[in-house]
């Protein structure tokens, strides 16, 4: 089993172009099956979650081919509507195929999704939204059989009691295949939802409002394949910025918009980093140890993203002063904390609250990745630590980060992958 060996304490300097956004590209690839014909998705990161999504598309009868960062999808021969359990278990976002298949074929058969273990991750809001649009859904031993009712799919008002990213996306895709108008009230406002809307528009969909909590879809418009460039990955950007904050340095990231990361950037500023935002550019300079900051509470966008909680915590754990984290989105998203403690971190957990007391400098240790962002956080901590760390369970990193060690090396980090 391969692992990273990381020599901590090297300042990070230089420029990096951030990969395409994982959380955008997965729903966009599922949305590509809405129209027959050949479409092209650009800036498509090479991640294991993307490979799994392409495998699902092929299994359903689509042609899917990667060439560099471009993926060509031809959904003309889409003929199957069932996704086997093994593929569904690979990643949670596979649930997005429910809305897409319902819109194109009027039926879908899949299993409860897998993904990172962050506590219960229900899909009740997804199912309620699809039922509102006229889907009949039978649940049998983990299998979900979903088909349009005899009356067919019809646009309606969907009210989400929580701004779930996945439920909003599923509702958007299904609504494209419904006659009439669908309104999604209480929609998630994440930039990746805007990206999905832009992609659907490029396919001819009549959809507006993404970025606000009210999305309107005039369904039934004939869709066509499109060529589309996926937005930059703000969570990968947050990770590299936190790495430079932990290890000190001066980095410039292109390909991600500072406006989509305001909550994270303001935390880094309060911790003592200098941040400069330009068009499609975020720069960070960090000269000394990080300071403790006011409580960080994860929340739906534009609040502090749960996906950046672990990487920021890892940076602050090796700084000075205390910071309280409150994880409001997922029940158990502190899997990285035990590993950080091996490095000498002082972190107390009480339910959803974690109190981090900076210890000045963490020490290198043998670490195991626990989940996608948790594993990235351990790499961040190791880059800032004294001495050598090893990090295993790299499959978590490969789910969400393209060329991770190469990118860090290009910034001067000492990190290598060993078999």
Is 198 near ligand UD1 (CB under 6 A)? no
Residue selected from 42, 124, 139, 346 as contacting ligand UD1 according to rule CB under 6 A: 124
What residues numbered 25-44 form the site for ligand UD1, per CB under 6 A? 26
Residues contacting 150, CB < 8 A, separation 6+:
none
Is 93 near ligand UD1 (CB under 6 A)? yes
Nearer to ligand UD1, 16 or 329 (CB): 329
Q: Are 86 and 110 in contact (CB under 8 A)?
A: no
Helix spans in 343-414 (H)? 372-384, 395-400, 404-410
The first and second tokens of residue 117, run together, are 């273990």
Nearer to ligand UD1, 6 or 108 (CB): 108
Torsion-angle region of 280 (φ positive above 0: left; ψ -120 to 50: alpha; else: beta): left
116 is catalytic: yes
Torsion-angle region of 351 (φ positive above 0: left; ψ -120 to 50: alpha; else: beta): left
* DSSP label at residue 43: S
Which helix H or strand E contains 74, and what residues bound it? strand 70-74
Nearer to ligand UD1, 25 or 290 (CB): 25
Torsion-angle region of 231 (φ positive above 0: left; ψ -120 to 50: alpha; else: beta): beta
Residue selected from 87, 217, 282, 329 as contacting ligand UD1 according to rule CB under 6 A: 329
What residues numbered 153-192 form the site for ligand UD1, per CB under 6 A? 162, 164-167, 188
Is 352 near ligand UD1 (CB under 6 A)? no
Nearer to ligand UD1, 43 or 389 (CB): 43
Nearer to ligand UD1, 73 or 125 (CB): 125
Length of the chain: 419
Query: Nearest approach, Cβ of 23 to ligand UD1 (angstroms)?
Result: 3
Active-site residue, from 44, 116, 242, 286? 116
Q: Which residue is nearest to ligand UD1 (CB)?
A: 166
Is 307 near ligand UD1 (CB under 6 A)? yes
**CA distance linking residue 85 with residue 120, whole number of Å:** 18
Q: Which residues bind ligand UD1 (CB under 6 A)?
A: 23, 26, 92-93, 121-126, 162, 164-167, 188, 305-307, 329-330
Active site (catalytic) residues: 116
């Amino acid at each position: 089993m391969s692992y990273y060996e990381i020599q901590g304490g090297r300042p990070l300097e230089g420029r990096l172009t951030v990969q395409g956004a994982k959380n955008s590209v997965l729903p966009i690839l599922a949305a590509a099956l809405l129209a027959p014909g050949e479409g092209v998705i650009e800036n498509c990161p090479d991640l294991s979650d993307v490979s799994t999504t392409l495998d699902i598309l092929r299994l359903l009868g689509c042609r899917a081919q990667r060439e560099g960062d471009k993926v060509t999808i031809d959904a003309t021969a889409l003929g199957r509507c069932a996704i086997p359990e093994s593929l569904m278990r690979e990643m949670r976002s596979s649930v997005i195929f429910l809305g897409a298949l319902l819109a194109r074929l009027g039926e879908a058969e899949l299993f409860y999704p897998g993904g990172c273990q962050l506590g219960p991750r229900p899909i009740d809001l997804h199912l309620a939204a699809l039922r509102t649009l006229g889907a009949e859904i039978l649940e049998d031993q983990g299998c979900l059989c979903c088909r349009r009712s005899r009356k067919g799919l019809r646009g309606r008002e969907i009210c989400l009691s929580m701004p779930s990213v996945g439920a909003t996306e599923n509702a958007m895709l299904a609504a494209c295949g419904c006659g009439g108008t669908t309104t999604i009230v209480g929609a998630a406002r994440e930039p990746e939802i805007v990206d999905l809307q832009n992609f659907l528009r490029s396919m001819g969909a009549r959809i507006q409002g993404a970025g606000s909590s009210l999305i309107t879809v005039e369904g039934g418009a004939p869709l066509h394949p499109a060529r589309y460039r996926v937005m930059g990955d703000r969570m990968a950007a947050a990770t590299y910025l936190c790495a430079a904050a932990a290890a000190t340095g001066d980095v410039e990231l292109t390909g991600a918009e500072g406006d989509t990361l305001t909550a994270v950037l303001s935390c880094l500023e309060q911790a003592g980093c200098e941040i400069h935002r330009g068009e499609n550019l975020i720069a960070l300079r960090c000269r000394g140890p990080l300071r403790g900051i006011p409580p960080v509470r994860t929340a739906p966008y534009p609040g502090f993203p749960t996906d950046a909680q672990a990487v920021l915590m890892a940076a602050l754990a090796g700084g000075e002063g205390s910071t309280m984290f409150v994880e409001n989105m997922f029940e158990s998203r502190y899997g990285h904390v035990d590993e950080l403690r091996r490095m000498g971190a002082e972190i107390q957990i009480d339910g959803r609250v974690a109190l981090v007391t900076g210890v000045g400098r963490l020490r290198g240790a043998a670490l195991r990745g626990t989940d996608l962002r948790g594993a990235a956080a351990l790499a961040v901590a190791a880059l800032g630590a004294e001495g050598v760390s090893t990090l295993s369970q790299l499959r978590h990193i490969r789910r969400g980060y393209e060329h991770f060690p190469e990118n860090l090396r290009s910034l001067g980090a000492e990190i290598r992958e060993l078999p």
